[in-house]
């Protein structure tokens, strides 16, 4: 059995990746998640969908001693995927120290454990936020990173740098930072998806909750950008595609296919979709009209960002397979299951 430890295995992307990892009977998945922004039921859902369980330790990755115990109890871990982090941009502006403490200390602790327990392969959840204000589209891995617009974004930028400095002196570890664009959607079964405990700010949960009547009306943030319909362009990517990319990235490292000991790879679809197009795709697959208005711009938003995803294809043999309608249909199926109590 190949033991893989994931932090944040009950979170949105972590749980979908756990399902994909568990589909390989040779892999054992150990999760560390303190459940501050997720629920223990997610671990049950993962087990239900995958047909076998991951083991979740309710441990804070910032607690070095408790984290070390997980490694002691599970000797021979071959790979770590570090998802666990706080990720609300607005909240990070209000609570910068909490974000720096949580996101950076957890990263330092997990890297320390990787070195101590001789884990060879490390994958970090990064974000396209590291590119900041963009001058040229699409964004490649050669696009320079810029000063981050928020403390959250800075934890990803500084996190990538911490890994770089660590890899330079590490005896054992090879690493990849996966820079996600906009992960959305849910598992095709409709039994696992995004369920923000706090008020959602991201577009797709706001769409599905507006359609469910939980939010009275959606505001499209800005109709005067220099885009084809005036609303912002983003590179939405199905969460199951993202999960599959993690499995491929892990295999790539474990098979020693990496050229450098630390590599950066964009995970996007390569397609820009406007907010209004995303809403239309939702309306089409859900067969209803969404109550929305076009309002003011949201401070901190960039007008357009989308990826060049050729490096992921070249190195990992991965590309996004699911389009915007599939993303919306799966998110809606998940939301309806939540509404009807089929999923909890
Ligand atoms: C945001 C973060 C990004 C983070 C990502 C995590 C910012 C500036 N960026 O990306 O760092 O990695 O979430 O998922 O916050 N929109 C509306 N109405 C809404 C909600 C969103 O029009 O009610 C629009 C936004 O203006 C944006 C698009 O939908 O153009 C996507 O927004 P969102 O889902 O919040 O993602 P990002 O802002 O792209």
Report which protein residue has its CA nearest ligand 1's atom 25. Answer: 221
CA of 242 to the centre of ligand 1 (A): 17
SS3 175: strand
pLDDT above 90 for 188? yes
SS3 296: coil
Q: 255-306 pLDDT, tens per residue?
A: 999 999 999 999 999 999 999 999 999 999 999 999 999 999 998 788 999 9
Rounded Cα–Cα distance for residues 28 and 32 (Å): 13
Pairing mode, strands 236-238 and 182-184: parallel
SS3 284: helix
pLDDT band at 135 (very low <50, low <70, confident <90, very high): confident
Rounded Cα–Cα distance for residues 276 and 186 (Å): 20
Q: 158-181 pLDDT, tens per residue?
A: 999 999 999 999 988 999 999 999
Rounded Cα–Cα distance for residues 140 and 311 (Å): 8
pLDDT band at 344 (very low <50, low <70, confident <90, very high): low
Contact present, 319 and 308 (Cβ < 8 Å): no
Work out the number of other CB atoms within 10 angstroms of the CB of residue 304.
Answer: 18
Q: Where are the domains of the chain?
A: 2-183+237-268+308-320
Contact present, 214 and 285 (Cβ < 8 Å): no
Whether ligand 1 lies within 6 angstroms of the CB of 140 is answered as no
pLDDT above 80 for 313? yes
What mean pLDDT, rounded, does the chain reach? 96
Whether ligand 1 lies within 6 angstroms of the CB of 232 is answered as yes
Rounded Cα–Cα distance for residues 86 and 92 (Å): 8
Rounded Cα–Cα distance for residues 16 and 163 (Å): 24
In which element (H, E) is residue 68 found? helix 64-73
> What one-character-per-residue DSSP string does 246-263 give?
HHHHHHHHHTT--SSSEE
- Reduce the secondary structure of 4-46 to three states and give it as a string: EEEECCCCHHHHHHHHHHHCCCCEEEEEECCCCCCCHHHHHHH
Whether ligand 1 lies within 6 angstroms of the CB of 300 is answered as yes
Tell me the angle at which helices 64-73 and 96-116 cross, rounded to the nearest 10 degrees: 30
Share of the chain above pLDDT 90, in %: 90
Cα dist. 89→17, 85, 256 in Å? 23, 12, 35
Q: 245-255 pLDDT, tens per residue?
A: 999 999 999 99
Whether ligand 1 lies within 6 angstroms of the CB of 201 is answered as yes
Rounded Cα–Cα distance for residues 298 and 308 (Å): 25
Ligand 1, closest atom to CA 301?
8
Closest of 236, 262, 261, 255 to residue 326, by C-alpha: 236
Q: 38-87 pLDDT, tens per residue?
A: 889 999 999 999 999 999 999 999 999 999 999 999 999 999 999 999 99
Catalytic residue positions? 152
Rounded Cα–Cα distance for residues 73 and 57 (Å): 11
- Ligand 1 probe mutation, 132, 182, 207, most atoms within 8 A of CB: 182
Which homologous superfamily is 2-183+237-268+308-320 in?
A: NAD(P)-binding Rossmann-like Domain (3.40.50.720)
> What one-character-per-residue DSSP string does 202-219 give?
SHHHHHHHHHTTSSS-EE
Per DSSP, 335 falls in state H
Amino acid 343: pLDDT: 67
Q: 100-130 pLDDT, tens per residue?
A: 999 999 999 999 999 999 999 999 999 999 9
Whether ligand 1 lies within 6 angstroms of the CB of 331 is answered as no
Rounded Cα–Cα distance for residues 181 and 309 (Å): 10
CA of 275 to the centre of ligand 1 (A): 10
């Amino acid at each position: 059995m190949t033991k893989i430890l994931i932090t944040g295995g009950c979170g949105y992307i972590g749980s979908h990746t756990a399902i994909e990892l568990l589909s390989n009977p040779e892999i054992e998945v150990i999760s560390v998640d303190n459940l501050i922004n997720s629920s223990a039921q997610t671990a049950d859902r993962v087990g239900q969908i995958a047909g076998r369980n991951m083991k979740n330790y309710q441990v804070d990755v910032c607690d070095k001693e408790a984290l070390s115990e997980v490694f002691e109890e599970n000797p021979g871990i071959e790979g770590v995927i570090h998802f666990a982090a706080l990720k609300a941009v607005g909240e990070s502006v209000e609570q910068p120290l909490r974000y720096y403490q949580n996101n950076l200390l957890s990263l330092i602790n997990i890297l320390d454990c990787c070195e101590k327990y001789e884990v060879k392969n490390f994958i970090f959840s990064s974000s396209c936020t590291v590119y900041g204000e963009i001058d040229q589209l699409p964004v490649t891995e050669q696009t320079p990173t810029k000063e981050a617009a928020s403390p959250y974004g800075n934890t990803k930028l500084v996190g990538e740098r911490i890994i770089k400095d660590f890899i330079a002196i590490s005896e054992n570890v090879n690493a990849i930072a996966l820079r996600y664009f906009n992960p959305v959607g849910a598992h095709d079964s409709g039994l696992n998806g995004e369920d923000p405990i706090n008020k959602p700010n991201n577009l797709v949960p706001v769409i599905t909750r507006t359609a469910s009547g939980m939010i009275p009306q959606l505001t499209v943030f800005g109709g005067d950008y220099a885009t084809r319909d005036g609303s912002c362009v983003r590179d939405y990517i199905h969460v199951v595609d993202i999960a599959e990319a993690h499995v491929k990235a892990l295999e790539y490292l474990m098979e020693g296919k990496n050229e450098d000991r630390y590599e950066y790879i964009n995970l996007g679809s390569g397609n820009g979709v406007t907010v209004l197009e995303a809403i239309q795709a939702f309306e089409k697959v859900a067969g209803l009209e969404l109550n929305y208005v076009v309002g003011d711009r949201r401070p901190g938003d960039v007008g357009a960002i989308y990826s060049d995803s050729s490096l992921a294809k070249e190195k990992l043999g991965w590309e996004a397979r699911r389009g915007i309608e599939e993303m919306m249909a799966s998110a809606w199926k998940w939301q309806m299951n939540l509404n009807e109590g089929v999923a909890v």
